[in-house]
Structure 1
Amino acid sequence: MSLRRFYLAPEMIGSLQPEITGSDAGHICRVLRLSPGDAVELFDGAGNGYRAKITSASPRRVAFSIEKKFALLAESPVHITLAQAILKDRKMDDLIRQLTELGLDRWMPFYAARSVPLQAKKESATRLARWEKIALEAVKQCRRGRVPRIAPARDFDDMLAASDEYDLKIIFWEEAAQAFGLNGTAPLKPKKIMLAIGPEGGFDAGEIQRAQACGFFTAGLGPRILRSETATLAACTLLQYRFGDMGPGS
């Protein structure tokens, strides 16, 4: 039987008395009914796991003694950054949960020319905090070792400017001449990949031209028109299958 698993903030790892406080402590005591002496698994969100025992427990504070440190091995060998055009309503919330399960390394939301909720820029700090919380909860559930990094929302050209560090850059576009496939000029085993997905209305031609000028390959996802959120999940799955840990060579 697997141990109950909890997130321990990295700054707590080296302390004499690592502890979890707040609502998570209440959940451990009141819902799970764990008590001193119970063994648990902790993780720090940076790829490390810890076997620990509870030394004291109250609804406000649960303290641990760490017995063993070990590496968590559920991370993809390829670092995928998704540049996702802002979508309306709570679609982004659902996406960050699912993308965390698929092994996404970094999420970079941006405002495209056809993004609808431009007025939501003033809410960006609140949304960022919510996305970080959703990603952390998803990591707990899927037993990953690292929490995806989430960048503040930016403009399209700022997103392009941030793409210089990547080995492979792909922008998915419904008008691309061919479905997903790369020619001989693309790296065979990229370590860092950026993919860009547009908003509900898609990218405009000017955005595609600017992305191509920055070294992005254009690719499609078949003959059917996909919702943006469907395209996002399909594209991430394809990249993990071809370059990551979901394919036959993983």
Structure 2
Amino acid sequence: MKSKMKGPVMQRRDQVDGTTTDQRLLDSRGPSDWVHTDPWRVLRIQAEFVEGFGALAELGPAIGVFGSARTAADHPSYAIAEVVGRRLVEEGFAVMTGGGPGAMEAANKGACEAGGVSVGLGIELPFETGLNEWVDVGINFRYFFARKTMFVKYSQGFIVLPGGLGTLDEMFEALTLAQTQKITAFPVVLIGVDYWSGLLDWLRDTVLADGKISQGDLDRLVLTDDVEEAVRIMVDARPQASGAQA
């Protein structure tokens, strides 16, 4: 009697097929439409989370540093970002940025030159090419939401330098998660009084005044020009934050 085991399935008589699963996989490339379907996207999303968790699980305490990719190397914010990266490393933190140019590159440079762990979480974009040269541990993501999860899960706070929409997105993401108690003990410091004061004035005079946020939401933002103050806030939050990102 003709029979065959096909993985865990037994086939007999007329139900026995003449090929193996490996043979069908390897014999022909077949149509490629399946790589653009939602089920396949789910697997790619899963892979991004697996790669991110695997790469960062043993990172240790880290601070996310954000700022504009358009910050020129001769701009004052670039020099400040370098100092931020260096000082965070000196206080025992890894430095995590978006891995791009500008302020991100500067923070990675400061961390790298100080002998610390310089992390870049890049994103696939039509107008940026790879991670900057100062990144020691780099992961490039297809999906923003997977990348954001890594920033919030493996950072214990954010230091935010002058930036545009991407910087604002990361900052407000953290504030929203803190407001909704998805994360706790998560300090957010804005460096650049002249740059950020208008935004904070609007949040206070318009958004808070109209009852759309509470004073506690606004109090989560610390505004300063002092790098040492920003770093000290991250250090002071470290004991409370160490178990907060589970």
Both structures adopt the same fold (TM-score exceeding 0.5): no
- Larger % of strand: which? 1
More helix by percentage: 2
- The structure, 1 or 2, with the larger RCO (C-alpha pairs under 8 Å, 6+ apart) is 1
In which range does the TM-score fall when normalised by the shorter chain?
A: 0.3 to 0.5
Name the larger-Rg structure: 2
